[in-house]
Amino acid sequence: MTRFLERIRTQKPLIHNITNVVVTNFTANGLYAAGASPVMANAKEEVEEMASIANALVLNIGTLSSEQVESMIIAGKAANKAGIPVVLDPVGVGATSFRTESARTILEQVNVSAIRGNVGEIANLAGLSAQVRGVDSMGEFDMDELLSMAYKKIQVPLAVTGELDFITDGKEKAVISNGHPLLTKVTGAGCLLSSVVAAFLAVEKDVFHAVTGAVCYYGIAAEEAASKAKLPGDFQIELLNQLYAVSDDLIAEKSRSVLGKLGSDL
Amino acid sequence: MTRFLERIRTQKPLIHNITNVVVTNFTANGLYAAGASPVMANAKEEVEEMASIANALVLNIGTLSSEQVESMIIAGKAANKAGIPVVLDPVGVGATSFRTESARTILEQVNVSAIRGNVGEIANLAGLSAQVRGVDSMGEFDMDELLSMAYKKIQVPLAVTGELDFITDGKEKAVISNGHPLLTKVTGAGCLLSSVVAAFLAVEKDVFHAVTGAVCYYGIAAEEAASKAKLPGDFQIELLNQLYAVSDDLIAEKSRSVLGKLGSDL
Amino acid sequence: MTRFLERIRTQKPLIHNITNVVVTNFTANGLYAAGASPVMANAKEEVEEMASIANALVLNIGTLSSEQVESMIIAGKAANKAGIPVVLDPVGVGATSFRTESARTILEQVNVSAIRGNVGEIANLAGLSAQVRGVDSMGEFDMDELLSMAYKKIQVPLAVTGELDFITDGKEKAVISNGHPLLTKVTGAGCLLSSVVAAFLAVEKDVFHAVTGAVCYYGIAAEEAASKAKLPGDFQIELLNQLYAVSDDLIAEKSRSVLGKLGSDL
């Protein structure tokens, strides 16, 4: 038993988020619910110091500005120097060239521990958007190919989330079927997951298992929430409740992940 | 039957919001609940591209900066070029000269499809604040005069919302009595309505009918929410639930709008 | 009977918040629930005018930028000129030197009416962090010493909130035991309290009694909320409900404050 949540709730890792203005509140409340300590800081005058005292860093490009890119790179380098994990959420990569270029600049300048995005974002980040057109259905076979190709280009552990969630570190692969469609009706559901991934990485050095654990936990919390709340306003609040209520034991009981080698059929 | 919601829920129009930092989350969740796809992007480096792939643009000046005004004008011109509707929400116009001047600059530089505000904002935007002092009671006669005068100055379809809602395109007028006082206890209730108006305009070219439809829908969702939630925290969440649950059929059943010519008693 | 809430709900004071991007929505909804009128404005072009028409100003440094510091000083000076109260919330002071220096610059340039923070923030602001290490347990004796030392350095009425809340104006002291641990699971719970303090100061010139009243009210609302909501998502919403529902009579019935002289055992 890995008991990630117990570790998070005991260690209360400080998660430094440089994130978009839409999800700040929801992300902070979600991190508190999981047991972590959130902090948000964007100014280039302070991100180096803040990242240095944090236990993990999240870079989310959802409402990017050029000043924020600069801060992300300063914070990312400080995180690298301090040896803490860095999660990149490439929100909307491919929608504008500013986002695509900024995400690539961050990847060039910062050693990122893991990237979480939807299939379109990961494909765009890897420069594969032409090849993967139509992959939105996320058929198992295509996704394995996408994961392999994307990992080859990006060389960073990936979590591609959607109806099914796919995680790879270039060798191992996990396919997770926890989760619920109501997550697509709550803004920032993906962004919060990226910050939860950072909280797991803050307490576990094995990136593949930490990311897989975070994605299972989040999907199970969503399932629990959806069993109580059928409408999106209620679901958003109930998700916070369940991120707080779900335990390592419930994860052990309810997780539906299939593990294997990248390139193998699961 | 116009069935606006069915169209929104089928077409999932992408609504690009350049809005204030108070309402970003609530606006995004409200647009998801209505069936649209929200995107927020503020940077001058990307707003032209983002507006070009969107189906409607919202410009909300609630926490304006000079950089944001610049972005709004770039995005507005791109929206005009792409032929997509633009909604202006002149939050707090009249409170500071920066807001008043910025709103007027936007109106000079961008072809706006509709403006939604409260009576004070619309009066200030039209330079009528002196004449309409005391109109806050929104007596029917005074409102008709205000609408006529404001339209004459601004030459853009207007939705003036409050205890009653008034919509005009310079010829037609609608007076809507749907809605609920609890809306005044939720921050961003007006801002979200402006974004919902944009979603309706994204699926219907007839501005007057689209705006009237959006305002009816929103008022009915508020009534449904108030029948379940009596306190403002609950109401805020229940409003999101009801924006999701309300159907075109319920709108047809519950809308209370009176239509006529601008300048006529209704 | 001081009946602060009745005054707030009658006068609806306009509270100008220059605050962090995490708590804008929650702060605005909390102020509405209390009966006040929130406004957020950050741009240096408009903060002087906005502060001049407001009834109180809140400066919260939770996601500071150098532009925002500049705006805070402009707004603070306008508030001083207009004779309205100014509340400083030194979020995260001590975490980075940018925050510490910015908070001190604000205190040098602006006459602040009251400061609300947790024990670490107040100790850092007063340059006492070395002496008070370990005070987090907030033992009564140490807190009295901290309050005396911090007031001597800062010379501004202080509200130090935590498991117990301590208020002093340099002469009087109040210790309040209202409140609930679930407040620590909601982001912005402290930030909103600072804005509620500003609303109380807007209707009551006696700073010590206004701050004490605000902290009691907030703690009682939290207790009422916790009696209905056991999980953090629900609690966040129920706190807004109870800020709306709590009355002056309930405060008179449920407040648990002990008053005395600073330097005395209570």
Average pLDDT in chain A: 94
C44 and C244 Cβ atoms separated by less than 8 Å: no
Q: Look over chain B and give the mean of its residue pLDDT values, rounded to a whole number.
A: 94
Contact between C20 and A42 using a beta-carbon 8 Å cutoff: no
Task: State whether residue A1 is helix, strand or coil.
Answer: coil
Structure confidence by residue, pLDDT tens digits, A215-257 = 999 999 999 999 999 999 999 999 999 999 999 999 999 999 9
Assign A142 a pLDDT band (cuts: 50, 70, 90): confident
Give the confidence band of B142 by pLDDT, cuts at 50, 70, 90: confident
User: Residues C2-28: pLDDT tens digits?
Assistant: 899 999 999 999 999 999 999 999 999
Q: What is the pLDDT of residues A150-174, one digit of tens each?
A: 999 999 999 999 999 999 999 999 9
Residues 6+ apart with CB under 8 A from C248: C1, C2, C3, C4, C5, C6
Q: Write out the two tokens for C223.
A: 């207790």
Give the per-residue pLDDT at A135.
43
When scoring C26, C42, C98, C191 by the number of chain A Cβ atoms within 10 A, the one with the most, hence best to mutate, is C98
Distance from CA of A82 to the nearest CA of B (A): 30
**Chains touching B, CB cut-off 8 Å, 3+ pairs:** A, C
Q: Is residue C68 one of the residues assigned to a domain? A: yes
3-state secondary structure of A226: helix
What is the average pLDDT across A101-129? 95
Are residues B29 and A98, on separate chains, in Cβ contact within 8 Å? Answer: no
> Does A39 sit within 8 Å of C97, measured CB to CB?
no
Looking at beta carbons, which residues of chain B come within 8 Å of A23?
25
Q: Which of A153, A71, A65 is nearest to A104 (CA)?
A: A153
Residues 6+ apart with CB under 8 A from B164: B138, B140, B143, B175, B176, B177
CA distance C62 to A179: 33
Q: Give the three-state DSSP class for C150.
A: helix
Write out pLDDT tens, residues A47-84.
999 999 999 999 999 999 999 999 999 999 999 999 99
Q: Would you give the distance in Å from CA B259 to the centre of its chain? A: 19
Domain assignment present for A266: no
Task: Give the CA count within 13 Å in the CB-facing half-sphere of B109.
Answer: 17
When pLDDT is cut at 50, 70 and 90, the band that residue C266 belongs to is low
What's the mean pLDDT when you consider all of chain C? Answer: 94
pLDDT band at B133 (very low <50, low <70, confident <90, very high): very low
From residue A251, how far is each of A3, A180, A241, A254, B192 by CA, in Å?
9, 15, 15, 5, 37
Least Cα distance to C219 among C187, C204, C202, C197 occurs for C197
A254 secondary structure, DSSP code: H
Structure tokens at C79: 């508030």
Q: What is the pLDDT of residues B232-264, one digit of tens each?
A: 999 999 999 999 999 999 999 999 999 999 987
pTM of the model: 0.96
For range C44-48, the mean pLDDT: 97
Residue C57: is its pLDDT beyond 90?
yes
Residue C2 is predicted with a pLDDT of 85
Looking up residue B247, the CATH number of its domain turns out to be 3.40.1190.20
Q: Is residue C194 part of a domain?
A: yes
Determine what percent of chain B is predicted with pLDDT higher than 70. 94
What mean pLDDT comes out for the span A77-95?
Answer: 97
Please write the tens of the pLDDT for every residue from C103-132: 999 999 999 999 999 999 999 999 987 555
Coil/strand/helix, residue C92: coil
Count the Cβ atoms, other than its own, within 10 Å of residue B152.
Answer: 11
- Strands B158-160, B114-117: pairing is parallel
pLDDT, residue A138, reads 47
Q: What is the pLDDT of residue A28?
A: 98
Burial bucket for residue C77 (CB in 10 Å: 0-12, 13-18, 19+) = middle
Residue C182, domain extent: 4-261
**Per-residue burial over C143-168, b = 16 or more CB atoms within 10 Å of its CB, e = otherwise:** bbbbbebbbeebebbbbbbbebbbbb
Residue with tokens 């439809």: B213
Give residue-wise pLDDT tens across range C130-187. 555 444 444 444 788 899 999 999 999 999 999 999 999 999 999 999 999 999 999 9
Number of domains in chain B: 1
What's the rounded Cα separation, in Å, for the pair B84 and B53?
Answer: 10
The band of B2, judged by pLDDT with boundaries at 50, 70 and 90, is confident
B140 vs A216: CA distance, rounded Å: 57
Task: Say if residue C82's pLDDT is above 70.
Answer: yes
Q: Residue-wise over A238-251: b if at least 16 C-beta within 10 A, else e?
A: bbbbbbbbbebebb
Q: What is the dihedral of CA B135, B138, B140, B145, to 10 degrees?
A: 40
Measured distance CA(A9)–CA(A4) in Å, rounded: 9
Q: Kindly state whether residue A49 falls inside one of the protein's structural domains.
A: yes
Q: Is residue A213 part of a domain?
A: yes
3-state secondary structure of B84: coil
User: Which chain B residues are closer than 8 Å to C50 by Cβ?
Assistant: 95-96
The residues on C that touch B, with CB distances below 8 Å, are 21, 24-25, 28-29, 32-33, 38-43, 45-46, 49-50, 53, 236-241, 244-245
In a domain, C266, yes or no: no
Confidence of residue B3 (pLDDT cuts 50, 70, 90): very high
Facing residue for A25 by CB, picked from C22, C185, C237: C22
Interface partners of A (3+ CB pairs, < 8 Å)? B, C
What is the predicted ipTM?
Answer: 0.95
